[in-house]
Amino acid sequence: MKKFLPAAGVFLALASFQSVSPADSARAVSTVSFSDPNTTNEVPQDNKIIIYQMMTRLFGNKSTTNKPHGTIAENGVGKFNDINSTALQAIKQLGATHVWYTGVLEHATMTDYTKDGIPLDDADVVKGRAGSPYAIKDYYDVSPDLAVNVKNRMLEFEGLVKRTHANGLKVIIDFIPNHVARTYKSDAKPLGVVDLGERDDKTKAFAPNNNFYYLPGQSLVVPKANNPLGAAQGPKEDGKFAEMPAKVTGNDVFSATPSIDDWFETIKLNYGVDYQNHRQLHFEQVPDTWVKMRDILVYWAKKDVDAFRCDMVEMTPVEFWAWVIPEVKKVKPDILFMAEAYNPKEYKTYLEKGHFDYLYDKVGLYDGLRRLMRGEGNTEDITRVWREESRGFSSHMLRFLENHDEQRIASKDFAGDPRTAIPAMTVTATLASGPVMVYFGQEVGEPAHGAEGFSGEDGRTTIFDYWGVPFHQRWVNGGKFDGGKLDEGQKELRSFYARLLNLTGSSDAIRRGKFYELQDANNLGREYDQKQVYSYLRYTDKQKLLIVVNFSRDKTLHPTLRIPAEALKAMGLDPNRVYTYTDVLNNTPAVTSLALTLAPLSAHVFEIQPRK
């Protein structure tokens, strides 16, 4: 198989230097105003947790059959028990502090578990053979797919939590608040819990204490274009699903005939918002759904979960979060809440009023870096993010280049080359003091080739199907988790991620340092292509770092970098002294000049120290 990183690519993030006089290394630019546009007054907070996200059912799967629409018997599935101490230590050595176990809660599936007392789902309202992990069937249970012994599935999950903690890592699971599977019914709820919808008045389209929204007098009609398993036949598949009255579909579709492009397999939860009457709010009394959701969150908090990644939070009222997060933190004060959010205009609202600890930075930094990685953007996108979009709260933005919703970097749909992540991931991890995340397989250049079943050829690793993830499986190496089957290019790429994430987690300047952008100081410099090169400082009293990246795929650049006198003074450095620069990302010797050779797709993190 073609290597993504050729043998010559071992230089991938190494710099070479040209000899210039020491005075050039800190040439002052004295045009910066008192209100310096190259920085902010934000006091960074040390929120630098490092998240390793895995699609739990795929992580430990060793089967390489990969038959489109394949059954669990044909294609295999990973288990909680596959995530053993060897695997967890390897994740920790990559630099992770937290593991996000995606797809843990029980969701609708076409796999038959009736012998274990679990009702069979109807293929007409299930997406994919394995089913979407975001169509929850029981908030109080875990997926039977993930257990060796289905009847002991909760004990096996609890064992994973203990094992994760014993290996020095913390546990994140999903909380999906907006919608559930059409077949939702909890058979694992604690004694005395009233199930969702059990006491709803189904004659009313909306009632403040109903858990669902209804379409009285109408029966659900599943999309005619739905063909869940292609040529194969799924359980109960007949183009029908008995639901009378029809419930409103998860993506706010108030129709009994949702389309194939809707979240037709889900139903929306009612948080006291009357959408069909000008979105009137009915919060005079705490709505029943709020109480039920609080109890579910507390249930998992008491199982020693450390954080929740909350799905599509903007589809539920911020007032709910403002109430429920403090309620859960009364039970477990240090538990974290991370929001999948996409509206920058509401970021401060969800942080300040909603009490979220962290928010996705998708439409800002991710989208800007994606354009750069595809050769379509420029570094002004990065400047806009810190200067405008997340100004004042960058320490609360969770940053990433891959997750289960996004396309793989190495796919033809994204960048086609995993090396484009070298500059982009460096910025993702070091631009601010907030969380950073990688998705399993990202660190070895997984390209997500093939149409897995419900997931077509779309550049993503499926969340709907049973599947083996080929490049990730090379690292798994039959359960050794040692990368023994990786080629040299993949090993070098993973080494880069490990160096970057471990540096990110240990560096005082990256964890809690202030920020100063160097674009203005260098944009007139010879060979400083400000659209492709990005440079900035991160600094505390203990450590000063200079970070420089080159996004160009084919240009080697030779700029002589300039650090303004104002920036040196802000760092507490004397502009008249000579300093050394040691690339701590790539472990190269110290130099006294910032005349750089920036290879294509390279990244450098220089520690600045006075020359002795």
Would you kindly state where each structural domain of the chain is located, as residue ranges? 50-111+127-180+286-506, 512-610
pTM: 0.94
* 50-111+127-180+286-506 carries CATH number 3.20.20.80: yes
pLDDT band at 23 (very low <50, low <70, confident <90, very high): very low
Q: Across residues 200-219, what is the average pLDDT?
A: 98
Let me know: does 431 contact 399? Beta carbons within 8 Å: yes
pLDDT band at 63 (very low <50, low <70, confident <90, very high): very high
Let me know: does 529 contact 470? Beta carbons within 8 Å: no
Phi, psi (deg, nearest 5) at residue 269: -90, 150
How many degrees, rounded to 5, is the angle at CA 425 between CA 356 and CA 560? Answer: 125
Which pLDDT score, from 0 to 100, does residue 542 have?
98
Closest CA to 435 of 341, 552, 357: 357
Closest CA to 537 of 608, 599, 595: 608
Please name the helix (run of DSSP H) or strand (run of DSSP E) that holds residue 596, with its range, or none: strand 596-597
Q: What is the mean pLDDT of the chain?
A: 94
Phi, psi (deg, nearest 5) at residue 155: -65, -35
Q: Across residues 14-43, what is the average pLDDT?
A: 53
Let me know: does 553 contact 420? Beta carbons within 8 Å: yes
Torsion angle (degrees, nearest 10) of CA 9, 11, 15, 18:
-90
Please give the full DSSP string across 403-441, using - where no structure is assigned: -TTSPPTTSTTTTS-GGGHHHHHHHHHHSSSS-EEEETT
**Amino acid code (one letter) for 376:** E
Q: Across residues 466-486, what is the average pLDDT?
A: 98
Residue-wise pLDDT tens digits, 391-435: 999 999 999 999 999 999 999 999 999 999 999 999 999 999 999
Which pLDDT score, from 0 to 100, does residue 532 have?
97
**Hey, what are 356's tokens?**
């979220």
Residue-wise pLDDT tens digits, 338-369: 999 999 999 999 999 999 999 999 999 999 99
Please write down the long-range contacts of 371-374, taking CB distance under 8 Å and 24 or more positions apart: 372/423, 372/424, 372/551, 373/409, 373/414, 373/415, 373/420, 373/421, 373/424, 373/551, 374/414, 374/415, 374/420
In the chain, % of residues over pLDDT 70: 94
Fold that domain 512-610 belongs to in CATH = Immunoglobulin-like (2.60.40)
Q: How far apart are CA 435 and CA 433, in angstroms?
A: 7
DSSP state of 56: H
Please name the helix (run of DSSP H) or strand (run of DSSP E) that holds residue 164, with its range, or none: helix 153-166
Closest CA to 268 of 214, 202, 228: 214
Pairing mode of beta strands 136-142, 436-439 = unpaired
Pairing mode of beta strands 533-539, 514-517 = antiparallel
pLDDT band at 254 (very low <50, low <70, confident <90, very high): very high
E strands, 481-589, where?
514-517, 533-539, 544-550, 579-583
The owner of tokens 């409103």 is: 248
pLDDT band at 583 (very low <50, low <70, confident <90, very high): very high
Which pLDDT score, from 0 to 100, does residue 223 have?
97
